[in-house]
Amino acid sequence: MNQISRRCALITGASAGIGKAFAELFAAEGYDLVLTARRRQRLEDLARACRERHGVEARVVVADLADAKAPQAIFDELAEAGVAIDALVNNAGYGVPNAYMSTTWQQQADFIQVLVTAVAELSHLFLPGMIERGWGRIINVSSVAGLIPGSAGHTLYGGAKAFLIKMTEALSHETVGTGVQVSALCPGFTYSEFHDVTGTRELVNQMPERMWLTAEEVARHGYDAVMADEPIAITGGIYKFYCLLARYLPTGLARGMVRRRSGEFHAQG
């Protein structure tokens, strides 16, 4: 796989939602794919569909990113197979619902491993090859939650997503002139399996229709943003407006608004 004529994209969390939409988009744009997540059958089905529909190569690497050894194992497997990664989409993610002290430390440690450490390590592993070849793209799927004040419930989520934004901004400076471009993609509420996995489906179903994005529009926005070298990309007019408000309102006022509304979208028990 990975003939010289075609670039290759590695997408984490490709078995559902935004990651699946990224896989379909990169394949439609002519990239070979490496798809990773824990659910093998889903990845195999998606790989087959992308091969048939778009004539690209698609490889499946099953990995649990909560395992600290997973990023290096993914890198080693691809290096051994001679697969060079040109585009990396760090997308895998979920939320840990409820208040901090009603969760176990293991839940939180796994969360940090998947949403923060694995993203930082995969970027560290794949960036040198991109720089050496003079071309690379990294999309870190963050969230509007990383740009607004922290809310009650899902305690580390906003901090993890803010980490990705700052890390991406820093890398965008460090990669100037290398041919590598990086973007932190910040969507708001998106139709996917996220809220089922997190157990907040009933809660968020009450959000008005105008608040929702599709996984396909989020992926398209992320793809266009990284190609245009935009370090931070907020998806959707309504979310751009909220982020502006969060930035320019007096901090206490913005924090108070989030505190009052946390219960509408986060499980806080």
Active-site residue list: 157
CB of 157 to ligand NAP, least distance (A): 7
Q: How many CB atoms lie within 10 A of CB 170?
A: 12
Which CB, 116 or 131, lies closer to ligand NAP?
116
Least separation, in Å, of the C-beta of 65 and ligand NAP? 4
Q: DSSP label at 82? A: T
102 contacts: CB under 8 Å, gap ≥ 6: 269
Q: Least distance in Å: CB of 146 to ligand NAP? A: 9
- Pick between residue 29 and residue 45 the one whose CB is nearest to ligand NAP: 45
Residues that bind ligand NAP (CB under 6 A): 13-19, 37-39, 64-66, 91-94, 114, 141, 143, 187, 189-190, 192-194, 197
- Pick the closer one to ligand NAP by CB: 112 or 131: 112
Nearer Cβ to ligand NAP (62/257):
62
DSSP assignment string, 155-199:
TTHHHHHHHHHHHHHHHHHHTTTTTEEEEEEE--SEESSHHHHTT
Nearest distance, CB of residue 92 and ligand NAP, angstroms: 4
CA 217 to chain centre: 14
Residue among 100, 91, 90, 232 nearest 156 (CA): 100
Beta carbons within 8 Å of 257's beta carbon, 6+ residues apart: 249
Using CA atoms, how far apart are residues 108 and 225, in angstroms rounded to an integer? 31
Tokens, residue 20: 């699946």
The minimum distance between CB 197 and ligand NAP, in angstroms, equals 5
Query: How many angstroms from the chain centroid is the CA of residue 160?
Result: 11
Across the chain, which distance is largest between two alpha carbons, in Å? 55
Of 7, 33, 3, the closest CA to residue 21 belongs to 33
Compare residues 107 and 178 and give the one whose CB is closer to ligand NAP.
107
Residue type, 263: G
* Residue number, 31 or 111, with CB nearest to ligand NAP: 111
* Nearest distance in Å: CB 178, ligand NAP: 26
